[in-house]
Amino acid sequence: MSCAVAAVENARPVAFLQFLGQDHPKRDELQQQALGALAACAEAREVPPDKFLDWFKSERLNDPDHFLPALDRALQALVPPDAWLFDRALLTSDS
């Protein structure tokens, strides 16, 4: 998996835990795991630790309106249309 895909994939649990997982009993542990994976992506891109937050913001990993569509595009590129285990239209439907 490329670092770009890994970055948007690991931004998802960070955002979900922040907005939806306030009361989850393992919130801190899960958030540390996701942030650790993001830190590994930043390191792979040679981002110094003191510039992590700037990188996070510049990649728009703090913006679900950006990283969720980017994740969807990455998954579509990785998974052939006939290989999904579920009907993706059910996830993207406005109904």
Domain count, the chain: 1
Start-to-end CA distance of the chain, whole Å, equals 32
At 23-61, the pLDDT tens digits run 888 888 888 888 898 899 899 999 999 999 999 999 998
**Per-residue pLDDT, 19:** 73
Q: What is the distance between the alpha carbons of residues 34 and 53, in angstroms, rounded to a whole number?
A: 14
**Per-residue pLDDT, 58:** 93
Structure tokens at 63: 């913006």
At 9-21, the pLDDT tens digits run 778 777 877 777 7
Confidence band, pLDDT 50/70/90 cuts, at residue 6: confident
**Per-residue pLDDT, 95:** 44
Mean pLDDT of 79-91: 85
R_g (Cα) of the chain, nearest Å: 15
